[in-house]
A = this chain, B = another copy of it.
């Protein structure tokens, strides 16, 4: 199904983009206006975009109904500074409340029940309850359009990082599990990063995987192996050597699977893969044909 975005209603286009580009991290952004009045609002059109220099970008969108700008954008145009705090599960309902469109000048720290913590370098305070906050100066704001639904890239340079030390692991690094971050999905959905839905894939950058294209056809075209199985096999640097092929071939379970046929062999290989034993899994598969 193919769509031309120019032919879609704003609401429909927004729905597709916000549902398909997800999970999105949340910037809980605090700004001040020229009179020093504090604003706090969450944005999920947000990410990190550079390490050196350290740059975060988020986008306050012009309102769909009248194209007007949000307080956050107006404030940044007056005072080019922002604090960005990350949002974890314990903060999420209050964060959602802070997205309420209160009148200009209302302090959402009070409305949402958060605590202002003074910044070191910039004027806006940060959210004391957040596990990680960034003080940022705004390098530039790039308008992506001027009507309703138009984004504005706020290019924010990190000048201070505040970490809750309780979120560090024993090596002193930020701990993904302890952070318990939440992200925005389409509609009113959020996603929580818990041990149940976190998983690891060994980074392929250290070796040069031979690629799925180097696997024999009967493996690539297996009805039993999944794309994820093939990806893991293609990440191996090369086919297993003769010694491993021989020793794996002599195993009783492999002999048994060989007698039953290719399907049994592929199921056995999948079991090896689930045990993170990719090289032996490939050695099992290569017994077949």
Contacts and interface: CB of A to CB of B under 8 A. Distances in A.
B55 A21 contact: no
Contacts of A16: 132, 161, 163, 174
A104 interface: no
B20 A47 contact: no
Nearest to A142: B142
A264 to B, nearest CB: 23
B199 A144 contact: no
A148 B139 CA distance: 20
Interface stretch (A181-189, A242-250, A279-287): A181-189
Nearest to A19: B174
Contacts of A190: 198-201
A151 B153 CA distance: 14
A173 interface: yes
12 contacts: A2-B160, A15-B173, A21-B46, A22-B176, A22-B181, A45-B50, A49-B59, A57-B57, A94-B230, A100-B211, A111-B211, A113-B212
Interface of A: 1-5, 10, 13-25, 44-57, 59, 61, 64, 86, 89-97, 99-102, 110-113, 120, 129, 131-132, 142, 144-145, 147-151, 153, 155, 158-165, 173-176, 179, 181, 183, 185-194, 196-205, 208-209, 211-213, 220, 226-232, 234-235
Contact of A2 (B92, B120, B148): B120
Given A17-B158, A94-B212, A97-B204, 15 more contacts: A5-B159, A16-B161, A17-B51, A23-B23, A50-B144, A52-B147, A52-B149, A91-B228, A100-B209, A100-B235, A111-B209, A113-B227, A153-B153, A183-B183, A190-B198
